[in-house]
Copies of this chain bind each other. A is one copy, B any other.
Amino acid sequence: MKVAILGYGTVGSGVYEVLNSNKEIIKRKAGVSLEVAHVLDLRDFPGDPVESVLTHDVADIINDPEVKVVAEVMGGVGAAYKFTKAALEAGKSVCTSNKELVATHGSELMKIAQEHGCRYLFEASVGGGIPLIRPIMTALHGDDIVHMKSILNGTTNYILTRMSESGAGFNEALSEAQQKGYAEADPTADVEGHDAMRKTAILASILEGKAVSCENVHTEGISSVTMADFKYARKLHAGVKLLSVIKRENDMISAMVAPFLVREDNELFGVKGVKNASLVRGNAVGDIMFYGSGAGKLPTASAVVADMADAARCVAGLSETKQVPAWTEEPAKVIPFELYESASLVRVAAADEQAARKAFKEIKEVAPLEGEFAFLTGVMTEGVYEKAVSGLNIISRIRVDFTE
Contact = CB atoms under 8 A, between A and B. Distances in A.
So how many copies of this chain end up in the complex? 2
Interface string A2-29: 0000000000001000110110011011
A288 B282 contact: no
A16 to B, nearest CB: 12
A306 to B, nearest CB: 5
A365 to B, nearest CB: 29
Given A134-B135, A135-B135, A324-B318, A142 B302 contact: yes
Contact of A131 (B26, B29, B31, B140): B140
B293 A290 contact: no
Nearest to A25: B144
Given A18-B284, A123-B139, A299-B284, A291 B309 contact: no
Interface string A259-289: 0000000010010000000000011111111
A22 B270 contact: no
A140 B306 contact: yes
B28 A209 contact: yes
Interface in A133-150: 134-135, 138-144
A197 to B, nearest CB: 24
Contacts of A31: 324
Question: For this complex, into which size category does the number of interface residues on chain A fall?
Answer: 35 or more
Nearest to A296: B286
B134 A138 contact: yes
Given A131-B139, A318-B324, A284 B310 contact: no
Interface in A305-340: 305-306, 308-310, 318-322, 324
30 contacts: A22-B143, A22-B283, A25-B143, A26-B142, A129-B284, A129-B286, A131-B288, A134-B139, A135-B139, A138-B138, A138-B310, A139-B306, A141-B309, A141-B310, A142-B304, A143-B306, A284-B298, A284-B299, A284-B302, A284-B305, A285-B303, A286-B293, A288-B290, A288-B291, A288-B292, A289-B290, A290-B290, A318-B322, A319-B322, A320-B320
Interface of A: 14, 18-19, 21-22, 25-26, 28-31, 123, 129-131, 134-135, 138-144, 209, 267, 270, 282-293, 296, 298-299, 301-306, 308-310, 318-322, 324
